Amino acid sequence: MTTFSYDPISADLGQFRLLTIQPGSWHAILECRLENAVLGQKPFYEALSYTWGDANNKRPIILNGFSWHVTANLECALRHLRYEDKSRVMWIDALCINQNDMREKSEQVPKMWDIYASSKKVVAWLGLAGPDGDAAMEGIQDLGQKWSKVDEELPLVGISPDTLRQAGIQVSNIAWWPIWTFLNRPYWRRIWVIQELATYEIGATAADDGDKVVIMCGTKSMSKFWIGGFCSIILLVTKLVANFIVDGNVQEPLRTIATLGVPSAVRMHLAYMNHPADLGFLLHLAPEFEATDPHDKVYALLGLVSKEESSLIIPDYSKPIESVYIEMYRSLILYFKTLRYLLFNRVSYDGQGPSWIPCATKTLCFRFPWTPDIVQLKATAKVTLDIRFDNLMHHLTAKGIEIGFLDVIIGPNSQIQAPSALPGGSVSTAGPPQRAQPIDELPSAINNQKFFCQLCAFGRTLSKNARECFWRALVMDFDLTDLENRITPAPTHFEEEFEVLAGIRAMPANFEPDLPFKTRCQHWCTSSKFFRNFVECTHNRCFFRTSCNKMGLGPYDSKQGDVVVALFGAGRFVVLRPTFKGYELVGDAYIQGAEDEKFLLAYSKGDDSDMKDFVIC
């Protein structure tokens, strides 16, 4: 049989292609037809959101009367989507865009947001049910429905095992392991899915989403709205850890979160829940997701951001990926006159490509990045930006003031989880033990305690005044316990909590005096607001002291000899690594007590003797 070939589409006419799945019985070969359509004429169609699957595992279909091959996962999706008695019109990227025509691909990709938004329904295909699909979907839908009835009535800090039970959610009876396996399926790691699921997120209700976005797994389906409700619960639990520790034992779902990490679907929800999103934030999330073509880790995000940001980036799949990132960051920095796009937490850098672009470095974003309202250096953001780019060497030159060299490094407080530890990977899905699990047995808690013990050994060598600066640095001088009322400077009772934890002062005699000493120590730790904030602020971060005795928190990859700099236009301190060419960008940093007015007082009065150029390679 002759092979199918694409007819051209007209960009000037606003054309795109639609696929009609012809009716047929379950076992009959799939027959489909591609036809040109005009998006502006509002044709009736549904859009498929899915993963391509293994490109080497393909199956035949009939396309416009000719033989054509698609991946096994797409063929399976088409078979489940096909009606027996009527045709079904779909938009499916692998078929409706000629993937071998780079010019067409570059022209069609910017329209994908509009294509999904204009569809009558988005069908998210997660594959066959397998051993976990049915139970997971039933559990997620049940939780989502029950939680939606109480969500708006509770303050953000109100979620706990008790409030979940009051909503009818018995956390001890839920099969969390199959849910995690389901929420870590490859679908939730595909970067295009963020945009595909976000098109109906704005102002969506259960009724709206039930009609507009359907999650389909095997023969079962449910509204995306319930997935969103479940993800909201998980995000709140990660912020309210203490509420889920009872008598030293970790309650669900915190136990599963601490054991297996935050599932990919929750990261996906975090990415699409706010629209338009900040491109810098999304670009730092992008390494968490997967794409067949590395260009898509940029282009798949453009529909999620403001027109002002997206208009600066013209998709071009013919360009080398490094050039795409360099041109994009250069355009964003110069247009918005800010270096905030360069603020990230770096794990490692292999020396390939400029260190100031994320594609050249493995970055850490989740659990949550530092937010501007917590860590900011307002004065440097207000200084007139003076940036130069070397187009040949791809060096970025910016002005700033050097604070000092990193003299002492402790950490990082590593919370990086190997992918093989996640269900849905290569591990058994039999599930964790069902007994109550003490918090000090969890890998994340063990790492937190190990890091804290190293810090305490250093803290005990400090004078009382220096020790106050030290403990405040460990919580960035904030109390973030109440999500709706962040407090700064950190309350003075944090000092007592820290010093008891560090063994510098005795535990108050009236604190649970009838319990064994070890239990009292454990309860002091789990009830300590200081320690909760410490865990939040130091997640995948290092503690440092500079050569001029400044203390703060730096990126994961911080090393002795790095320099901390107030880079004009960044709005935050950064850590740079001296090289024979200039500097490598390591990541953003916090310094305790570096108030803007004191820090740039000389510069604000016209003394620029401390200012220098930093050539970032």
Q: What is the mean pLDDT of residues 169-198?
A: 91
Is the model's pLDDT at 420 over the cut of 80?
Answer: no
**pLDDT tens, position by position, 106-122:** 999 999 999 999 999 99
Q: What is the mean pLDDT of residues 378-392?
A: 75
Beta-carbon neighbour count of residue 368 at 10 Å? Answer: 12
**pLDDT tens, position by position, 57-67:** 999 999 999 99
Is the Cβ–Cβ distance between 211 and 121 less than 8 Å?
yes
**pLDDT tens, position by position, 114-160:** 999 999 999 999 999 998 899 999 999 988 888 877 666 555 556 88
- Exposed/middle/buried for 510, CB within 10 Å: 0-12, 13-18, 19+? exposed
**pLDDT tens, position by position, 421-476:** 444 443 334 454 444 556 566 667 788 889 999 999 999 999 999 999 999 999 99
Tell me 292's DSSP state.
Answer: S
Q: What is the mean pLDDT of the chain?
A: 86
Is the model's pLDDT at 28 over the cut of 70?
Answer: yes
SS3 content of the chain, % helix, strand, coil (to 5): 40, 20, 40
Alpha helix stretches (DSSP H) within 13-150: 72-81, 93-96, 102-108, 112-118, 133-148
Give the tokens for residue 20. Answer: 């009609």
pTM: 0.85
Alpha-carbon torsion, ordered 279, 285, 288, 290, to 10 deg: -10
Beta-carbon neighbour count of residue 228 at 10 Å? Answer: 21
Residue type, 591: I
**pLDDT tens, position by position, 203-253:** 444 445 456 899 999 999 999 989 988 998 898 888 888 788 887 788 899
DSSP states of 488-535: SSPPTHHHHHHHHHTTSSPPPTTSSTTS-HHHHHHHHHHH-HHHHHHH
Where are the domains positioned within the chain? 15-125, 324-411+543-617, 419-542
**pLDDT tens, position by position, 390-412:** 988 789 999 999 999 999 999 99
**pLDDT tens, position by position, 483-495:** 678 888 999 999 9
pLDDT at residue 369, rounded to an integer: 55
